Amino acid sequence: MAETGTGNAIQFNRISMVKDFLKRKKDAVLRRIIPSIKKQHYLDSLVGPYGYWDQLQQYQLDFLIRRGLEKQHKLLDIGCGPLQGGLAFIDYLNPGGYVGLDLREEPLVAAYRQIAEKNLVHKNPILIYSSNFGKNELDQIQFDYLWASQILYHLPEEKIDRLFEQISSRMTPSSLFFGDIIGDHPIRDTITTEGYWREFSFYLHSIESLQTMADQYRLTLTSLGPIGELGYPKEIALHTNRMLKITKRQE
């Protein structure tokens, strides 16, 4: 019976591999003949994962609205990329309410094209190329909300420290920061040695170690639980990431 079960599992895996191969081949053909599919595939490649653009965009907007984001608020989107969530934020917020940061030029170019194509220029969004979380570009601007979706686990500790320094200077006592870290998932065992997304490595951070770094900037961390329970698609492996809320202490 055990051998039969193993054989069935192997057969199932082979069928799944064949289906995945055929789907990838079909998608490759469609990208060559349908410009809109080719464009969307390119945008997905800049932010990942493939095929979830609309779902992840809605997740980001819904998450912040449920936590009080209103049209008149100012939002800093850290690691905005080609505006997967940014387009929804820009459309929702009042003119001038959105600022996006990224350290890569390619997705920012794609972002500007998106703004023009979606007729959102009148919302006056600001996109900034920065390698230091806006330290040299944002002057003394403060924000009501600061958002770093699936960014923190691409940052080593020294960059987390720089990020905390910057967000502390951008936050008022009522501001809220949200960002997620790698949670309980089998990929934790291999991600630091085998995991890469484009040129970015993965890093594992505990809430305790992050709180220790945050203390010097008068920041308090709270875990809100797995992002899969907060609207993130559960079919994506990283749905077990832990969402963190950061507030600034009044001292």
**pLDDT digits 0-9 by tens, 216-228:** 999 999 999 999 9
Q: Whole domain around residue 16: which residue ranges?
A: 2-33
CATH number of the domain that 201 lies in? 3.40.50.150
Identify the sign of the CA torsion 23, 29, 31, 35.
Answer: negative
pLDDT band at 125 (very low <50, low <70, confident <90, very high): very high
39 in a domain, yes or no? no
> With 60 as the cut, is the pLDDT of residue 173 above it?
yes
Residues 9 and 97 in one domain: no
Q: What is the pLDDT of residue 26?
A: 46
> 224 near 51, Cβ under 8 Å?
no
Residues 16 and 118 in one domain: no
> With 60 as the cut, is the pLDDT of residue 117 above it?
yes
Give the mean pLDDT of 16-29. Answer: 46
Residue type for position 111: A
CA angle 114, 119, 123 (to 5 degrees): 95
Helices (H), the chain: 2-33, 35-47, 53-66, 86-92, 105-117, 157-170, 191-194, 207-215
Q: Which two three-digit tokens encode residue 189?
A: 């065992």
> With 80 as the cut, is the pLDDT of residue 18 above it?
no
Other residues' Cβ atoms within 10 Å of the Cβ of residue 137: 14
pTM score over 0.85:
no
Phi and psi of 232, rounded to 5°? -75, 140
| Pairing between β-strand 98-102 and β-strand 75-78 as defined by DSSP bridges | parallel
Q: What is the pLDDT of residue 2?
A: 43
> 61 near 128, Cβ under 8 Å?
no
Q: What is the pLDDT of residue 30?
A: 42
> With 90 as the cut, is the pLDDT of residue 189 above it?
no
Q: Would you call 163 exposed, middle or buried from its count of C-beta atoms within 10 A (0-12, 13-18, 19+)?
A: buried
Residues 16 and 80 in one domain: no
170 in a domain, yes or no? yes
> With 60 as the cut, is the pLDDT of residue 5 above it?
no
Buried b (16+ CB within 10 A) or exposed e, 166-192: bbbbbbeeebbbbbbbbbeeebeeebe
Residues 26 and 100 in one domain: no
> With 80 as the cut, is the pLDDT of residue 145 above it?
yes
Tokens 């895996």 belong to which residue?
A: 13
Euclidean distance between CA atoms 248 and 251, whole angstroms: 9
19 in a domain, yes or no? yes
Cα separation of the two ends of the chain: 67
Residues 200 and 224 in one domain: yes
Residues 19 and 53 in one domain: no
42 in a domain, yes or no? no
Residues 234 and 151 in one domain: yes
Give the mean pLDDT of 138-159. Answer: 94
Is 66 or 193 the better-scoring residue by pLDDT? 66
Q: Which range, of 16-20, 40-44, 166-170, averages the lowest pLDDT?
A: 16-20
> With 70 as the cut, is the pLDDT of residue 44 above it?
yes
Is 47 or 186 the better-scoring residue by pLDDT? 47
Euclidean distance between CA atoms 49 and 207, whole angstroms: 25
Give the mean pLDDT of 149-172. Answer: 94
- With H, G, I as helix, E, B as strand and everything else as coil, classify residue 37: helix
Give the mean pLDDT of 7-29. Answer: 46
pLDDT in tens, 195-216: 544 455 888 899 999 999 999 9
Is 189 or 181 the better-scoring residue by pLDDT? 181
| Pairing between β-strand 171-181 and β-strand 143-148 as defined by DSSP bridges | parallel
